[in-house]
Structure 1
Amino acid sequence: MHDPAHFLPSFVWRADRDGTIRYANPWTSRYLGFPAAELVGLHWKTFVHPDDIDRVLDAVRQMRDGTLLGNVEVRLLRADGEYRWHVLHLQAELDANGRIGNTMGVATDVHEARHAWAMYEASERRLQAAFQGARMGAWEWDMKNRVVRMTSQLADLYGFPPGTDAIALSDLWDRVETEYRDLFQQKLDEALQHGGPFEFDFLLDGGSSSPRWLRMRGHAEFDDQGTLARVYGVSFDISKQRAAEEQLSLSERRYRALVQSTGALVWSAGPDGDIRPAGDDWSRFTGDEVVRLSDWGWLDYVHPDDRDSARQVWLDVLQRGTPGSSVFRLRRYDGQYRMVLAQAAPLFDSHGKLQEWFGTTTDVTAQYEAQAAIEARSLRLSVAIQAARLNIVTLDLASSTLSFEAGVEPPIDDGLTYDEALSRVHPDDRTTLERYVHSVAEGNDPRANFEFRLPNAGGEQWMQGSALLQRGTDGKPLRIIASVIDITERKQLELMLRDTDRRKDEFLAMLAHELRNPLAPLRTAIALLDKQPDPAVRSQELIDLMRRQVEHMTRIVDDLLEVSRITHGRIVLQLEPVLVGTAVYHAVEAIAAMAEARHQQLHVNVSDPTVWVSGDITRISQIFVNILNNASKYTPENGHITVTVEADGESVLIVTQDTGTGISAELLPKVFELFSQGERTLDRSSGGLGIGLSLVKKLVEMHNGTIALHSDGPNLGTTVTVRLPRLHHHERHSAVALSAPAPGRAPIAFRLLVVDDNRDAADSLAMLCESEGHAVRVAYSSAEALEAAPRFMPDVALLDIGLPDIDGYELAKQLRRKGDTRPLLIAITGYGQTEDRLRAQSAGFDYHFVKPVNIDSLLKLLASLTNPAP
């Protein structure tokens, strides 16, 4: 026969003292998903939720104290893996020694009931929360027993102790404000007589606290005999609503008082716009009866120029049915027109129908004039800011945001945070700028402007500014206001000037080097001549050496003077047809010796030898000689130099290519700048004075041409391309033929007076002239010259200009009185500018030579003279 538990649809098991299951009914086996045989030997903890095991153990411990029965709610693991709530009834069995032996457990599923209870509790909590949030409480009056049952929220509203849920009806009425009790009783009686729902407001006695307004909504029920049985409903706190209504009423009273205090003229209008001025203020303002302003009569007082616009604005407001305003001039009692602001607002009834318009008209002449003055001042300030190209930057210290008022396009977008703006500043300038800002924010006076760079697509934008700290009324820092101006052009000019100054210093150093180079062999040659017992030995070699070095120094000085003359526009080209091929071949011949000495190969390719250009033959040759000289100088030994002449219908291209040292990418954009030099070495095997290419570029441009350089980099050679306008056949004209030289004639010997405070220069020039058969007298000062001239009676005077006592100009005037032709005056000077030549001419000089004197030219001049007079 089966155990009765075998048929129970409940969870039944038996476990020994250690908690091992010894028996489980079929229901338990099906619930747990284990065959009964497999359940035996498992511990009951296997099927109990881990969080509920301690509660089971506590129930077992209580049974050890003598109570053999115990109940506990636990969650048991079902076969599908879900835990469900059960009430576990435990019964213990005592062994022969009176100790707990086996324990039987019977579990009843209460999961659905527990869930329903939880739902109910949640609903109750939500209801209570709703009551609490709405400051509302529910109640029920038992009119037969005169008892009121209420929720905790209502008890709190009435001020009853916590936990109060029922009171006598009289206690509830005692809580009504004393002065309001009769009215409360009257309203309640009226509501209860008719039955059904009712609502009214009343005031509670707040005791020491402020009074509280409640709104009661209820419903009365009567029994079969018509006797009032119960009243139930809700009450909620409307204190804030009543306070708001009181505040609104107070605000309205204040508004009316404010309107009156401002002197505004109050008026109203019907829905159709007919004006109804209110009060005597209109009469005092206009000096006329109010009736004359009614309806549309007010337009007669508006300035004629404003009348149409004021009327149209009012019509537009009426059509829209929304608040509006208008500014116009209104005539005052004294005939003056005052600027007024008319404002109108529509008033609607409870059904949304327009009832009337309420408006005010305020004299705003003073504000209007002040605003006009502010706008005029703002306009002047804006114009000044734009003229100065200023940017006004404000840093709000509380929010760390920047705002901008720019005279030009702002360098930074408006509305940036301080950190965002700082991130746009050049990394090298951020620390300095941030230190400046912090110093100003701390109240320090930096006493200096700040500068920073803003990187952009075009490079860098330099900004400069100054700042001040603005404080609040409490003295705390509010904001930093800075004026910032773009100084990019100035900075670029500064950097350019610095670079130019640097290149000038380098140039002067190289010029000193270049000038010392020929001085050394000159000094050596002089020493050799001085030491040789027989001057005729090797004298020609030394003279040739000195001639070469003097010519080299002369070329350096000539290049400097050429640049100066071209820069100041003092060179006038003598234009004539020039065969480009011929000019190129002459330039190649000029540097052929240099190229041969360096074992360089020169290649010339002239596709059309009949190509002409219009140019100054001397300057054209100067261009090509400079280019070829550079090519040879910067090309190593055994290198190649190629010159190609090509022509199209408009231009002639002269391309010079070499296999030399090339030009670095850094130097390439600057090669045509004055004093720009390549890398230099102490032996002068490379580098230059930085004059040649600048001179060439200016000469090419004077011929309406262009010049370009290209190099792929160091040691990859250089290509120079000169483009000149082509001269076509119909544009050419015959060059002026030079007359045949005059037949030779016997040279004439002259008496020459040489005046120079430099004894070596004077003596050497005298020796040269004596070698040509002239009689020469030397004077080392103006005084000596004036003393010797009457006795010597010179035919020609060669005068230095820079004499220490009396300069050459004054000496010339004293040697040859006005109207005389003797002696013929020749200036020997280091000053060769145009103004120097003009000054020499005005002083009476016939010829002008620049030191170092071209000896051949001087001797040719003396030889060409047939008599001393010009």
Structure 2
Amino acid sequence: MEFIIDAQSRDIFDNVFAFWGTLSSEGFVLNLDGQVFNRTVTDPKLLIGQKFSETVYWQASEHDSEILENSITEAAQGMKSKVLLDFRVSANEVINIELYLHPIADDKTIFFCAQEVTAREKEIEHYKERSEQLLFAAENADIGLWFWDLAEDNIFTTPKCNELFEVAPHDIFTFNSFLNIVHPEDISRVKTALNESQTHGKEYNAEYRVVYSDGNVHWIAARGRTYLDTEGNPKNMMGVVRRVTDKKIANEELSKVYDLEKKARSEAEEANRAKDFFLAVVSHELRSPLNAILGWVKILLNKKVDEKTQRNALETIEKSARTQAKLIDDLVDSARVASGKLSLELRPLNLYEIIKTVYNAQYPTAEAKNTTVNFSADKENIQVFGDSYRLQQIFSNLLSNALKFTADGGNIKIDMQTDSNSVKVAFQDDGQGISENSLPTIFQQFQQGENKTSPNQSGLGLGLSIVKILVAKHNGTVKAESAGIGHGSTFTVVLPLCGSEITTTNGNEEIKSANAKPLNGIKILVVEDDMDSREVLQLFLEQSGATVRSADSAHKAMNLLRESNGDLPNIIVSDLAMPDEDGYSLISRIRKLSAEKGGDIPAIALSAFASTENKQKALNVGFQKYHTKPFEPDGIVEDICRLVKQAN
């Protein structure tokens, strides 16, 4: 059958199709025409009667002839078909065509037409190549790609995406499948981010955790965009995901480091402020008693004063000097703590006697303030293993603090209670109290509760920090409690008991009661290079009944011993830090002498150096006792009496 069309229809066909024609049911060409043949060297009319699948046009591809033959067979059986084939226009040109075959039942023929799709196929190939490149880059960058068909709720994923979400290659991946792997705490946040993108057109940007089947948790960073249909409704979403666990962990660690650095910087700044304040307080605290001392001395030197005023002046000078000595002791102890050189001389002792001594020593201060101090204990024989001096320092600090912060007419209670393993000593007052904010730092250096930013409150803010350290060195604990400002405070020290009982005597009282001048008949050699210190010490010892000879150097002291002609001193009291030859060297030389020349004379070291190392060095070279300046009169008298008694 010849396929004949008019000129107008030919123009339409030429614009739409590359070629067209008819075939017999066996696939032989009945008719063939089209504008593509203007580019071929073969006249299409010469092909009429030939097997269409065997013509030269289908030799560009190995299988196209076979594909065409199968399609013709299907069309002969009444089925329409469409195939994509390569069509050889010439030896140098091959185009892509889409061939349509349509059976004509009445004539048992097949109508066919072909559209050239070369440009489209090249574009498809281009996009395919670009997609493969993009997929390769994404996979190598550990990035997964996903496409979500919102209408069908199907999420299409790349291999990397499958790995990140534990999706098998042929699994159907839906929104619920996705949510099943998201950490329960992050689901709400992810849903909100997706909804914002779909509803308001915002870019989808989220970080969330996924929980794998083995229990491991990883962080995922996702970005995407929503695409709309022609009516403006969300049609699909497309985006990328990548694992950011290591980055997240690193950021968290960096954040922790930053927070620690920020905290450390803040603490350092606070410490610097506290130290600046501390230096201001040191200046204030050292100058205040000096002002009183120098002022009264000037009055006593320049004016005649009555006996009552003179006594008041001397008492004020003594009080101010003791205040300065206490401040210096606190500074020295603080330096020892900072250098790790604070050591203790531990031995069994009766803590009851120590607290009683502290109570008696500070009773006059309480009486002057009209403050009631009640002292109670469940027993009077409470043995602990400790350093007597340091324990007195601990409880003196706590009692003086209670007196300082309790108003005149207030009440303080000291209570000692024991159990099978420990003793608890509580200092309770109804004074100023401590705020909730200050309690956590009350034992830190340079802190004075509510007064830590004002130098008006006396004290260096070192006492309680030293108390805490000394208590810890006794294997004990100390805590502060207060209901707040205006409600008083309680400081409680708990120390372990030791097993053995200790019998104590009050040596000072024995000495004092035995003789108003306890050093009567005792000959003392004083060695001190500082004239003022030497004169004060000599005068004090003489007023206590002693016969005193003095030397301003180690050399002169040795000469006095040589010239004694058997009239040796009963005891030597020597300074340590002297020019030319110090006290250590002096006593070492004396110990090398025979007993007849003074080699066995007991000796007391007197020094402004208060460290344990200096004390131990003095004892090692031959001193029997060690006293720090300013010396405690009763203490030095007691030691002189005991050492002379032991020597005799």
Structure 1 counterpart of 2:15, which letter? A
Q: CA deviation at 1:869?
A: 7.0
Residues 605 and 623, structure 2, Cα contact 8 Å, conserved in 1: yes
Q: CA deviation at 1:701?
A: 3.6
Alignment correspondent of 1:155: 15
The 3 A distance-change label for structure 1 pair 593 and 868 is closer
Structure 1 counterpart of 2:537, which letter? L
RMSD (Å) for aligned C-alpha atoms: 5.5
Question: Greater strand share, 1 or 2?
Answer: 1
1:349-364 matches, within 5 Å, as none
Q: Does 1:186 align with 2:50?
A: yes
Residue of structure 2 aligned with 1:235, choices 81, 104, 114: 114
Runs of 5+ consecutive residues of structure 2 not aligned to the other structure: 21-30, 55-68, 127-203, 209-217, 224-249
**C-alpha separation in 2, matches of 1:712 and 1:681:** 19
The 3 A distance-change label for structure 1 pair 216 and 511 is closer
Q: Does 1:735 align with 2:530?
A: no
The TM-score, its normalising length taken from structure 2, stands at 0.58
Alignment correspondent of 2:527: 754
Residues 416 and 424, structure 2, Cα contact 8 Å, conserved in 1: yes
Alignment correspondent of 2:636: 858
Residue of structure 2 aligned with 1:518, choices 262, 286, 289: 289
**C-alpha separation in 1, matches of 2:640 and 2:76:** 149
Alignment correspondent of 2:615: 837
**C-alpha separation in 2, matches of 1:612 and 1:842:** 32
The 3 A distance-change label for structure 1 pair 414 and 590 is farther
Residue of structure 2 aligned with 1:177, choices 17, 40, 53: 40
Q: Does 1:802 align with 2:580?
A: no
Alignment correspondent of 1:310: none
Residues 422 and 494, structure 2, Cα contact 8 Å, conserved in 1: yes
1:278-357 matches, within 5 Å, as none
1:77-96 matches, within 5 Å, as none
1:462 alignment partner, SS class? helix
1:44-63 matches, within 5 Å, as none
1:669 alignment partner, SS class? helix
Task: Give the number of the structure whose alpha-carbon radius of gyration is greater.
Answer: 1
Residues 383 and 501, structure 2, Cα contact 8 Å, conserved in 1: no
Alignment correspondent of 1:325: none
1:804 alignment partner, SS class? coil
Q: CA deviation at 1:149?
A: 4.5
**C-alpha separation in 1, matches of 2:504 and 2:548:** 39
Residue of structure 2 aligned with 1:461, choices 256, 259, 262: 256
Structure 2 counterpart of 1:516, which letter? R
Q: CA deviation at 1:508?
A: 4.0
Residue of structure 1 aligned with 2:438, choices 654, 658, 667: 667
Q: CA deviation at 1:571?
A: 1.2
Structure 1 counterpart of 2:41, which letter? T
2:17 alignment partner, SS class? helix
The 3 A distance-change label for structure 1 pair 232 and 617 is closer
Alignment correspondent of 2:490: 719
**C-alpha separation in 2, matches of 1:178 and 1:701:** 110
Q: CA deviation at 1:590?
A: 4.4
Alignment correspondent of 2:598: 822
**C-alpha separation in 1, matches of 2:251 and 2:120:** 58
Alignment correspondent of 1:478: none
Residues 600 and 641, structure 1, Cα contact 8 Å, conserved in 2: yes
The 3 A distance-change label for structure 1 pair 627 and 783 is closer
Q: CA deviation at 1:671?
A: 1.1
Alignment correspondent of 1:767: 539
1:364-379 matches, within 5 Å, as none
Q: Does 1:509 align with 2:280?
A: yes
1:660 alignment partner, SS class? coil
**C-alpha separation in 1, matches of 2:336 and 2:526:** 32
Q: CA deviation at 1:536?
A: 7.9
The TM-score, its normalising length taken from structure 1, stands at 0.45
Alignment correspondent of 1:573: 346
Q: CA deviation at 1:788?
A: 6.5
Residue of structure 2 aligned with 1:550, choices 290, 302, 321: 321
**C-alpha separation in 2, matches of 1:840 and 1:537:** 42
Structure 2 counterpart of 1:662, which letter? G
Residues 425 and 493, structure 2, Cα contact 8 Å, conserved in 1: yes
Alignment correspondent of 1:697: 468
1:582-597 matches, within 5 Å, as 588-597=359-368
1:178 alignment partner, SS class? coil
1:752 alignment partner, SS class? strand
Residues 754 and 766, structure 1, Cα contact 8 Å, conserved in 2: no
Alignment correspondent of 2:101: 217
**C-alpha separation in 2, matches of 1:792 and 1:682:** 60
What per-residue deviation string (whole Å, max 9, x for no partner) do you get for residues 27-52 of structure 1? xxxxxxxxxxxxxxxxxxxxxxxxxx
Q: CA deviation at 1:720?
A: 2.7
Residues 656 and 721, structure 1, Cα contact 8 Å, conserved in 2: yes
The 3 A distance-change label for structure 1 pair 746 and 866 is same
Alignment correspondent of 2:168: none
Q: Which has the higher contact order (CA 8 A, sep 6+)?
A: 2
1:22-61 matches, within 5 Å, as none
Alignment correspondent of 1:636: 407
**C-alpha separation in 2, matches of 1:773 and 1:145:** 154
2:50 alignment partner, SS class? helix
**C-alpha separation in 2, matches of 1:605 and 1:235:** 117
Q: CA deviation at 1:831?
A: 1.4
2:574 alignment partner, SS class? strand
**C-alpha separation in 2, matches of 1:217 and 1:682:** 99
**C-alpha separation in 2, matches of 1:787 and 1:732:** 49
Residues 827 and 848, structure 1, Cα contact 8 Å, conserved in 2: yes
**C-alpha separation in 2, matches of 1:798 and 1:651:** 40
Structure 2 counterpart of 1:822, which letter? G
What per-residue deviation string (whole Å, max 9, x for no partner) do you get for residues 389-415 of structure 1? xxxxxxxxxx99999xxxxxxxx9664
Q: CA deviation at 1:236?
A: 4.1
Question: Greater helix share, 1 or 2?
Answer: 2
> When the two structures are aligned, how many residues end up with a matched partner?
491
2:605 alignment partner, SS class? strand
Residues 430 and 489, structure 2, Cα contact 8 Å, conserved in 1: yes
Q: CA deviation at 1:186?
A: 1.2
Q: CA deviation at 1:658?
A: 3.2
Q: CA deviation at 1:589?
A: 4.8
